[in-house]
Amino acid sequence: MKPVPAYPKFLWWRISPLTQRRLANFRAHRRGYWSLWMFGVLFFFTLFAEFVANDRPLIVKYDGKWHFPVLMDYSERSFGGDLPGPAVYTDPFIRDEIRKKGWAIWPLIPYSYDAPVRNLSGTPPTPPDWQNWLGTDNQARDVVARVIYGFRISVLFGLALTIFSSIVGIAAGAVQGYFGGRVDLYFQRFIEIWDSIPLLYLLIIISGFIQPDFWWLLGIMLLFSWMGLVGVVRAEFLRARNFDYVRAARAMGAPSVTIMFRHVLPNAMVATITFMPFILSGAVVALTSLDFLGFGLPAGSPSLGELLKQGKEFATNAPWLGITAFMILAIMLSLLVFVGEAVRDAFDPRKSAVSSHVAAEPQAAPAAAWPPQAPPANTPIQAP
Amino acid sequence: MSAAPPLLEVKDLTVQFRSGNARFDAVRGVSFRIEKGETLALVGESGSGKSVTALSVLQLLPYPSANHPSGSIKFKGEELMAAAEPRLRAIRGNRVAMIFQEPLTALNPLHNIEKQIGEMLFVHRGLGRAAARARTLELLNLVGIRNPEKRLGAFPHELSGGQRQRVMIAMALANDPELLIADEPTTAVDVTIQAQILKLLKELQQRFGMGLLFITHDLGLVRHTCDRVAVMQSGLIVETGPVADVFKAPQHEYTKRLLGSEPKGTPAPVSPGAKEVMATEGFKVWYPIKAGIFRRTVDHVKAVDDVAFRVRSGETVGVVGESGSGKSSLGFGLLRLVESKGPIVFLGRDIQALKTSELRPIRRELQIVFQDPFGSLSPRMTVGEIVAEGLKIHRIGGDEDARDALVVAGLKEVGLDPETRHRYPHEFSGGQRQRVSIARALVLKPKLIVLDEPTSALDRSVQAQVIELLRRLQRDYNLAYIFISHDLAVIRAMSHQVVVMRDGKVVEQGPTADVLSQPKEAYTRALLAAAFDFKADETGVVRA
């Protein structure tokens, strides 16, 4: 054989040729690739929302001393005031003080999601102007700031829900598919019953006892969203547990856990990863609709669903609210769906775009692909 | 007097596949001709371009990723290369028909037999329902399907492999083709059925005077059934001529090598004092058939029923039988990969009743090599990881470096470059993968290896190398083998003892020389006739 090419590494991961081909396929899917970049930039940007949109300055030089209001709370006395309470930087008095004895650097958007804007031109909601680029909502809060924070919380919620429900779903599907038989039978019946519990009514009832916050919502949604992946993972495990290499591992004495994680799971991951962007967008939509109905995040939280609700209430006299909420959701979900499509295509074995290995070993690749390999002639009967 | 143009004349055919910027020439300037009533065999190993050549005759390749930079294909003087699609459609399935290797995938699973065959008649002849039905019955009779009236409504999955292949042939013959292209028509069926199919094709050819292009990798089959042979190697025809001449005096190196690659020799004799490694008696693998809501067991599929044998160290017990005879189930049962009944005495200890955890240390000495070299290696692990896995599970070799050294030694032992251990299985050929499988079993220093059709998916020349390797390893390490195969030639070259199985039961067993040279049972005789002489036995022992 030829000398071994060193496989490229990403950090400590070795990138297998298969992964390389998938990455190449993903990059070749231009819409998805750019959607991922755009989504990544937006997400990165909103992760640091406090530095982008805030009603506190980033840095204040006052009286020869440095202050970092974004990171720390300072009392009003630090800026020449009389009160011991925390400084309100939008207060004209404090502003004047700072301007006189130093300077301040403000974030790009000098408003936070939760504080009303002072000195509005009219009664809120006010239309977009040079101060508030997307106007203000009915409580005089800046819409741009709320959108930035709302985007962040939506995506973080979606990611958390996706990750946790994937972990639970993969584990449940793996156990069912791998062991099969009775375990599978009872688990499937349990899922059928569990799946028929109406989530919305449950949330309405629960919100009668407690005010659900981020983690409560996450937990309750998780109780019902993990089932999405079970079917896919179970099917993959059912298929793979009779593969010869799984049988070989069993013959070698490998314990079940090792077989499940080392041999079968990597196969099931393709189906799972393909699903993930769609689960993510589903989770975002779910949170938004709960907020829209008023059973979501606590009042005052920056939420796209809440903005949508205001958009509905003020549809005639403040259309910018509804339009903004719609555009943000449409853009975010479209980006996620485009990324999802690209991921799906990248993992699709029938779509082979540019492959470095076809170029490197022309004899091997097309011969293997054509004519199609016949399945093994005598597959033994499987014990059910 | 000008001679009539030959039935098929292929000149300087080239087939090129494109993938991105990569170019691959699958066929490079191939020429051959077939006369009326003649059988030409196109022989070669996998990847030699023989199927691609056949498919390009009917222009059935995946264009435009495949293309023909040069060449001409003339059917009775008419150019088919780049012919208009309607013209090609009039020829395909009508004047030139094709039989594929895998009858299960070549038949539409949702259509019954009447519809599948009727379609050919409808498309090319515009026959009505009643006329098509009559012709279909005639065809099914012709290909030897019993009770064709009852079979008309059957779906492909309700037929056996041999019957499916017969239906394929009936479809191909529906419109009395002048040329029949058979692409490995018997590779997926058992030897006894192969013999029947070959006989059928021969009869039909004589009756209708068809030309036959027979594509195969099996040289023995060519010798018995074909008139002329063309040997292909990596896209080129290296030798062509009448079968008798080529077999008697091969000119090209490659042909000589192919002819010399029939499994030969016998295994080294077992030393008289060899100790028993495994013994079983009354061994059964019964799969329950469950029915009803409560999945109660109503009956059993008796995959293995009452088998007894013993194997000593350095000895090979060959288990031979056709598909469905239970030979693989026997192997899996003995390794306790499927549930079984009956004692499995391994090195003096009955392992049948042991718990999974008690069994684990014993598994090290009890290994298996599978048939399909593509399916038995995890595609996401490097070869090094695959071979090292057993070492890790059984905590052999201490640290990472010591284990790596063992992996290197193991790969060297099976004739692989140890530098390849960082590569993934898909970069290896079938024979190399099978060597990796053997290395994976071997590094654990087993006492017994179950070889489940380890050579069936390999080309003959590679097969011979693997058999040589297995025999050497047996000699060097005094290994005991249970060798499962449907291939009697391989069994003869490998085993000391042989067990002939049919429908889960032992038909005949004993020393290889006795069983294969003086078979006592009619079934064994039929099997031998079909395998070595390609003769269909008509005593009714063999099913279709």
Candidates B372, B420, B445, partner chain A, best to mutate (most A CBs within 10 A): B372
Q: For residue B234, list chain A residues with Cβ-Cβ distance below 8 A.
A: 363
Are A170 and A261 in contact, with CB atoms under 8 Å apart?
no
Strands, E, within B58-172: which ranges? 66-67, 72-75, 78-79, 96-99
Q: Report the SS3 class of residue A211.
A: coil
Q: Which residue has the tokens 């910027």?
A: B21
Q: Which residues of chain B from 88 to 127 reach within 8 Å of chain A, CB to CB?
A: 101-102, 105
CA distance B230 to B329: 39
Q: pLDDT confidence of A255, banded at 50, 70, 90?
A: confident
| Nearest-by-Cβ selection for A358 from B19, B420, B422 | B19
B501 touching A, CB under 8 A?
Answer: no
Q: Which residue has the tokens 């569990």?
A: A194
For residue A18 the two structure tokens come to 């298969």
Are B262 and B460 in contact, with CB atoms under 8 Å apart?
yes
- Is A18 in Cβ contact with B456 (below 8 Å)? no
CA distances from residue B344 to A163, B278, B353 in whole angstroms, order as listed: 47, 7, 9
CA distances from residue A88 to A54, A83, A115, B27 in whole angstroms, order as listed: 12, 11, 11, 81
B17 touching A, CB under 8 A?
Answer: yes
Residue type for B330, please? L
Q: Number of residue pairs across A and B with CB atoms under 8 Å? A: 153
| Nearest-by-Cβ selection for A376 from B303, B372, B378 | B372
Query: What is the per-residue pLDDT across B289-328, written as a single tens digit (0 to 9) for each?
Result: 777 766 677 778 888 888 998 899 999 999 998 877 888 8
CA distance B113 to B185: 19
Backbone angles phi, psi at B145, to 5 degrees: -95, 125
- How big is the CA angle at B328 (ends B323 and B330), to the nearest 5 degrees? 125
Residue, of A175 and A85, whose pLDDT is higher: A175
Q: For residue A373, list chain B residues with Cβ-Cβ distance below 8 A.
A: 374
Residue A361, pLDDT score: 34
Residue A375, pLDDT score: 35
- Is B46 in Cβ contact with A263 (below 8 Å)? no
**pLDDT > 80? residue B8:** yes
Task: Out of A329-333, A360-364, B432-436, B498-502, pick the least confident.
Answer: A360-364
CA distance A6 to A17: 11
The separation between the first and the last C-alpha atoms of chain A, rounded to the nearest angstrom, is 42
Residue, of B404 and B538, whose pLDDT is higher: B404
Computed over every residue of chain B, the mean pLDDT equals 85
Using CA atoms in the order B60, B66, B71, B76, what is the torsion angle rounded to 10 degrees? 10
Say how far residue A171 (Cα) sits from the centre of its chain.
Answer: 20
Range list of H helices, chain A: 17-28, 30-47, 49-52, 92-101, 143-179, 181-195, 199-209, 214-225, 227-240, 244-251, 256-258, 265-293, 304-313, 319-347, 356-360, 364-369
Say how far residue A247 (Cα) sits from the centre of its chain.
Answer: 37
Closest CA to B66 of A23, A232, A370: A370
**pLDDT > 60? residue A335:** yes
Residue A352's CB is within 10 A of a number of other CB atoms, namely 15
Q: Any bridge partners for residue B289, and if so which?
A: B299
Q: Which residues of chain B from 387 to 426 reach within 8 Å of chain A, CB to CB?
A: 389-390, 393-394, 417, 419-420, 422-424, 426
Task: Out of A341-350, A371-380, B64-73, B223-232, pick the least confident.
Answer: A371-380
CA distance A330 to A281: 11
Closest-approach residue (CA) in chain A for B365: A252
Answer whether 0.80 is exceeded by the pTM.
Answer: no
Are B28 and B55 in contact, with CB atoms under 8 Å apart?
no
Q: pLDDT confidence of B150, banded at 50, 70, 90?
A: confident
Q: Which residue has the tokens 């030393």?
A: B271
The separation between the first and the last C-alpha atoms of chain B, rounded to the nearest angstrom, is 48
Task: Out of B283-287, B356-360, B535-539, pick the least confident.
Answer: B535-539
CA distance A88 to B246: 100
Residue B539's CB is within 10 A of a number of other CB atoms, namely 10
For residue B33 the two structure tokens come to 């001709």
Q: pLDDT confidence of A8, banded at 50, 70, 90?
A: low
CA distance B248 to A353: 48
Q: Which residue has the tokens 């069912």?
A: A176
Q: For residue B455, list chain A residues with Cβ-Cβ distance below 8 A.
A: none
CA distance A27 to B181: 43
Q: pLDDT confidence of B544, banded at 50, 70, 90?
A: very low
Residue A38, pLDDT score: 93
Q: Which residue has the tokens 């049972």?
A: B521
Closest-approach residue (CA) in chain B for A258: B393
Are B366 and A251 in contact, with CB atoms under 8 Å apart?
yes
Q: For residue B376, list chain A residues with Cβ-Cβ distance below 8 A.
A: 244-245, 247-248
Instruction: Please tell me the number of Cα atoms within 13 Å of A315 on its side-chain side.
Output: 5
| Nearest-by-Cβ selection for B51 from A363, A371, A383 | A371
- Is B426 in Cβ contact with A17 (below 8 Å)? yes
Q: Which residues of chain B from 140 to 179 reach within 8 Å of chain A, CB to CB?
A: none
Residue A362, pLDDT score: 33
- Is B323 in Cβ contact with A378 (below 8 Å)? yes
Closest CA to B14 of B71, B60, B57: B71
CA distances from residue A41 to A47, A148, A286, A304, B80 in whole angstroms, order as listed: 10, 13, 23, 19, 56
Residue type for B395, please? R
Closest CA to B239 of B69, B25, B72, B30: B30
Alpha-carbon distance A103 to nearest alpha carbon in chain B (angstroms): 59
Are B180 and B162 in contact, with CB atoms under 8 Å apart?
no
Contacts of B483 (CB under 8 A, 6+ apart): B316, B317, B318, B319, B451, B454, B490, B491, B494, B495
Element spanning B366, H or E:
strand B366-369
Are B80 and B61 in contact, with CB atoms under 8 Å apart?
no
Q: For residue A364, list chain B residues with Cβ-Cβ distance below 8 A.
A: 427, 429
- Is B328 in Cβ contact with A374 (below 8 Å)? no
For residue A80 the two structure tokens come to 């020449």
Range list of H helices, B430-485: 430-442, 460-477
Q: Which residue has the tokens 């392992």?
A: B351
Q: pLDDT confidence of A369, banded at 50, 70, 90?
A: very low
Are B489 and B455 in contact, with CB atoms under 8 Å apart?
no
CA max distance for chain B: 84
For residue A141 the two structure tokens come to 């809060």
Instruction: State the average pLDDT over residues B51-76.
Output: 85
**Rg of chain B taking only CA atoms, in angstroms:** 26
Query: What is the per-residue pLDDT across B262-286, written as a single tens digit (0 to 9) for each?
Result: 777 778 888 888 888 899 988 998 8
Contacts of A138 (CB under 8 A, 6+ apart): A124, A125, A310, A313, A314, A318
| Nearest-by-Cβ selection for A252 from B303, B389, B456 | B389
Q: Which residues of chain B from 30 to 49 reach within 8 Å of chain A, CB to CB?
A: 46-47
**pLDDT > 50? residue B486:** yes
| Nearest-by-Cβ selection for A249 from B21, B323, B389 | B389
Query: What is the per-residue pLDDT across B85-97, written as a single tens digit (0 to 9) for each?
Result: 888 888 888 889 8
Residue B415, pLDDT score: 85
Q: For residue B339, list chain A residues with Cβ-Cβ distance below 8 A.
A: 383
Q: For residue A353, list chain B residues with Cβ-Cβ distance below 8 A.
A: 20
Cis before residue B263, ω within 30 degrees of 0?
no
Candidates A19, A242, A381, A382, partner chain B, best to mutate (most B CBs within 10 A): A381
B246 touching A, CB under 8 A?
Answer: no
**pLDDT > 70? residue A21:** yes
Residue B500, pLDDT score: 92
- Is B19 in Cβ contact with A355 (below 8 Å)? yes
Closest-approach residue (CA) in chain A for B427: A364
Secondary structure of A251-314 as H, E, C letters = HCCCCHHHHHHHHHHHHHHHHHHHHHHHHHHHHHHHHHHHHHHCCCCCCCCCCHHHHHHHHHHC
**pLDDT > 50? residue B386:** yes
Alpha-carbon distance B5 to nearest alpha carbon in chain A (angstroms): 31
Q: pLDDT confidence of B450, banded at 50, 70, 90?
A: very high
Alpha-carbon distance B370 to nearest alpha carbon in chain A (angstroms): 7
CA distance B224 to B205: 15
Residue type for B25, please? D
Residue B272's CB is within 10 A of a number of other CB atoms, namely 6
Are A117 and A266 in contact, with CB atoms under 8 Å apart?
no
Residue type for A261, please? F
Q: What is the ipTM of this complex?
A: 0.72
Computed over every residue of chain A, the mean pLDDT equals 79
Q: Report the SS3 class of residue B149.
A: helix
- Is B376 in Cβ contact with A248 (below 8 Å)? yes
- How big is the CA angle at B46 (ends B41 and B50), to the nearest 5 degrees? 40
